[in-house]
Copies of this chain bind each other. A is one copy, B any other.
Amino acid sequence: MKSVEGKIGRIVFGRLFEDEDLVEAVTQMAKERQIKAGFFALIGTLKKAEMGFFHKGQYEPIAMTERLEIVSCIGNISVKERDPVVHAHITVSNRKGKVFGGHVLPGCIVAATGELVLIEAPDSGLQRKLDEKTQLYLWAIDE
């Protein structure tokens, strides 16, 4: 593991509303509040989920169209080419309590509500850069 450290900044509580796209909403909030890096966790409900499984260089989609609880959604924010980007993974449960999960793709649409808590790192210098091997934008940490 390579790592960087920084000071803790603000804590943000965000409420997501019906029909908001999860990734879009978190990204938009990060831009508005000028958050460069941080950790977040989110619980709530979805009316549909779009989750990815990384395989041979791309995310294969797993789509669910039923009402679901977001039993956990954990993610981070870091800067890619000046803008904050969201990377998050999610688990969702259905009416029988069965759980499904994956990488959060666009298309995770909030049902009744979503509750996000974000902890900011204002000065870590964390950035994403293109990784040649995986062709993903990964954390570029040199120390």
Contacts and interface: CB of A to CB of B under 8 A. Distances in A.
Interface in A46-78: 51, 53-55, 60, 62, 64, 67, 69-72, 74-76, 78
B87 A91 contact: no
Interface residues of A, number: 76
Q: How many copies does the complex hold?
A: 3
Contacts of A119: 8, 11, 39, 119
A5 B26 contact: no
A13 B2 CA distance: 8
B115 A76 contact: yes
A124 B11 contact: yes
B95 A113 contact: no
Interface of A: 1-17, 20, 25-26, 28-29, 33, 37, 39, 41, 43, 45, 51, 53-55, 60, 62, 64, 67, 69-72, 74-76, 78, 87-91, 93-103, 112-117, 119, 121, 124, 126, 131, 134, 136, 138-139, 141
